[in-house]
Structure 1
Amino acid sequence: MKSVLSRVRSGPRDRGSAAIEAAIIVPCLLMFLCLAIAGGRLATSGAKIDAAAEDAAREASIHRTAAAAQDAASTAAAESLDDQGLKCASRNVNINASGLNVPVGQVATVTVTVTCTVNLSDLLLPGAPGARTLESTATSVVDQYRQRDN
């Protein structure tokens, strides 16, 4: 009995087990690390979309007409996304400019929603299939004492 236990504890069969454990564990750790990086890149892209929506809402709120506000919001969102290095496969900017029609002296807001479809190959690894649609909405207050066109 004693010789069998001593072989189990320190026998010649234990020499290759570290290599086998490493061969199993290292790929799992690398996959987990890649998933963490991918999640971080997606979260960062979400923050970039948020910033673009805020820029677009602020820009829209300083214009007097809905048409000018729409043009300004689209331009501001595009410039913000370009400045931050986020490439959209498709981009859409929707604006609710009903606050521009409120009479002077009343508080009003302009709301802008920016939608951007990003190819995962741009965010994760080159060649990664698929796309992710990111959306953010921001609201900006219209100056209540500024002249408005009706």
Structure 2
Amino acid sequence: MTSWRGRGQERDRGSASVEVILIVPVLLAFLALLTLTGRSYAAGLAADALAHGAARSASLYLDPGEARIAAECAVAESVGTWGRACQDPTVTIQHTFTAGGRAVRADVTCISQRDDLPVLGLGERRTISGHATSVLDVHREQER
């Protein structure tokens, strides 16, 4: 005659394997989603930082052509620090008028690569935009 305790152990045999098989895909999907969220946040930071650098560099020049060149150079110098978060940036410069005077607005658009996260099925690339405005420094023009 077997005891009640022995019969329960036979029913639980193999249940740990089933639990692991069920929980591992959920954990992997959660980690992939967490990685995607972090990468999207970093891409947004990269686009905003590049736009800020472009606007600040462009604000040092009074001539719109020189301002555009300075903004493009600033973005080209610092885009490598962001890796896959912001690739192939394009810069658009606009001269505007604000309550504080003349200003330069920089818009940076770049591509965020996420081809190493195919689990989520959201596509390999995402376009990210960043915007920044800097007041035009009319008292100082940077020399080349």
> TM-score per shorter chain, which class?
0.7 to 0.9
**Corresponding residue for residue 66 of structure 2:** 68
Q: Which whole-Å CA distance do the structure 2 matches of 1:91 and 1:47 have between them? A: 14
**Corresponding residue for residue 32 of structure 1:** 30
- Aligned residue identity for 1:134: I
User: With structure 2 as the length reference, what TM-score do the two structures score?
Assistant: 0.79
2:61 partner SS? coil
Superposition pairs of residues 1-20 of structure 1, within 5 angstroms? 6=4, 10-20=8-18
User: With structure 1 as the length reference, what TM-score do the two structures score?
Assistant: 0.76
Structure 1 residue 22, shift from structure 2 partner: 0.9
Task: Note if contact 1:51-1:80 (Cα within 8 Å) is conserved in structure 2.
Answer: no
* Count of residue pairs brought into register by the alignment: 136
Identity of aligned residues (%): 39
Q: Which whole-Å CA distance do the structure 2 matches of 1:52 and 1:91 have between them? A: 9
2:110 partner SS? strand
RMSD: 2.9
- Aligned residue identity for 1:96: Q
Q: Could you tell me which runs of 5 or more consecutive residues in structure 1 were left unpaired when the two chains were aligned.
A: none
Would you tell me which structure has more strand in proportion to its own residues?
2
